[in-house]
Amino acid sequence: MQVSKLTVKNFRNAVEETLEFDGGVNIICGANAAGKTNLLEAVFYFAAGKSFRNCRDRELIRFGCESAEIKLEFADSAGNRRNMSAVFQKDRPRVLKVGENRVSRLADYLGAFRAVIFTPDHLSLVKGAPENRRRFLDLAICQSFPRYAAALTELNRTLAQKNAALRRPGADRMLLEVYNERLASLSAGVTLNRKKYVRRLESEADKFISEMCGGRESLKTEYRTQGGDNETLESLRDRYREVINEHAEAEIERGISLYGAHKDDFAVAINKKSARSYGSQGQQRSAVLALKLAEGELSAQLTGEYPVFLLDDILSELDPARKEYILSRLEGRQVIITGCESGIFGAYGRNSVFIEDGKICSFNSNTAKV
């Protein structure tokens, strides 16, 4: 998968800009607040159907403007050129298009363009709350299996309906039973997909961390779910049904759903010790890099082609060995990297744009355009 062009209009701090990319390493350089991350955010929007900053769409519209527009041109490995666009308007639903076709369901949209993003925030993958890990898994799985997005949407909708019912005074137990049955089977599907994905992720990430650290480190994951050790849809559903029903009165008392796939998590261990509790900063960082590289590898295994790698300002905080490792590991893939100064990219920094206040102000390329 290869991005050839990004156009943004009234998006964040950019008025109207077009960027072209080549198939190797592309660098977006500029001072703090110049608008580098904003551009990666625009590219990644097409992979996720939302901002990786976890904000609302209307925040993407340039201050003082009524609407924003972004457009991406890319090609798949078969050389088919495709484009996607998104228009954001205040107080109106966004308009997403794949080619000329408007799409409204995420499942019809995800997977058309795939990318893996690395940001400094990603340490939260190891250190942060379970929701960070669930978000990571869900997004990665959705890109490779768009049908998973439909199941996830359905799970979230059912949870919202059940929570609304739980909050209403005087519990409607019959209605709650209907929701509970649906939650048990939707949770089973979501958990099973996540579990399978984590198992494959672990195996790839373990190879990366071992390579990155000269064989000194190993990475293991442990999937944690209220669905227990079950490995089939039916057994997971039955277990979920059991725990949800067992705690039905507690949920009514608390007014919130306490049991289901929305409580899943996975723990990361380095050399068999919890990375969260015992890992050094460096080990945690290596674990995150390994997990993200593994995400890219799995995306290639599952779909037959590599995604685009987006590296938001992560190189400046890596030591030279890790920096070299990651750049050499991504050789041959399309990579878009942001950073404050071009010097840190060394020999990789051939194809760069410099931006200032959201505007591309200079351009330097030794390589042919796509």
Ligand X SMILES: Nc1ncnc2c1ncn2[C@@H]1O[C@H](COP(=O)(O)OP(=O)(O)OP(=O)(O)O)[C@@H](O)[C@H]1O
Summarize as ranges the residues that interact with ligand X (CB under 6 A).
12-13, 30, 32-38, 59, 61-63, 313, 340
Q: Which residue's entry shows tokens 């950019």?
A: 14
Choices 31-39, 171-179, 207-215, 239-247 (CB under 5 A): range interacting with Mg ion: 31-39
Q: Which residue's entry shows tokens 């062009």?
A: 5
Contacting residue, 26, 37, 143, 284, with Mg ion by CB under 5 A = 37
Closer residue to Mg ion (CB): 7 or 37: 37
Q: CB under 5 to 8 A by kind: which of Mg ion, ligand X, none does 12 bind?
A: ligand X
Query: Which residues 6+ apart lie within 8 Å of 246 measured at CB?
Result: none
Closer residue to ligand X (CB): 34 or 290: 34
Q: CB under 5 to 8 A by kind: which of Mg ion, ligand X, none does 35 bind?
A: ligand X
The per-residue DSSP string of 32-68 comes to TTSSHHHHHHHHHHHHHSS-TT---GGGGBPTT-SEE
Long-range contacts of 152-157 (CB under 8 A, 24+ apart): 152/190, 153/105, 153/106, 153/107, 154/186, 155/183, 155/186, 155/187, 155/190, 155/260, 155/261, 155/262, 156/262
Min CB(54)–ligand X separation in Å: 14
Choices 30-38, 46-54, 108-116, 251-259 (CB under 5 A): range interacting with Mg ion: 30-38
Q: Are 184 and 155 in contact (CB under 8 A)?
A: no
Please give the residue whose beta carbon sits closest to Mg ion in the complex: 37
- Assess 38 for contact with Mg ion (CB under 5 A): no
Query: CA dihedral defined by 225, 228, 231, 235, rounded to 10 degrees?
Result: -120
What amino acid is encoded at 286 in this protein? S
Min CB(68)–ligand X separation in Å: 8
Closer residue to Mg ion (CB): 37 or 83: 37
Closer residue to ligand X (CB): 34 or 116: 34
Choices 32-40, 43-51, 157-165, 244-252 (CB under 5 A): range interacting with Mg ion: 32-40
The closest of 95, 91, 143, 97 to 117, measured between CA atoms, is 143
Q: Are 273 and 208 in contact (CB under 8 A)?
A: no
Q: Are 269 and 262 in contact (CB under 8 A)?
A: no
Closer residue to Mg ion (CB): 38 or 351: 38
Closer residue to ligand X (CB): 53 or 329: 53
Q: CB under 5 to 8 A by kind: which of Mg ion, ligand X, none does 30 bind?
A: ligand X
Min CB(321)–Mg ion separation in Å: 24
Binding site for Mg ion (CB under 5 A): 37
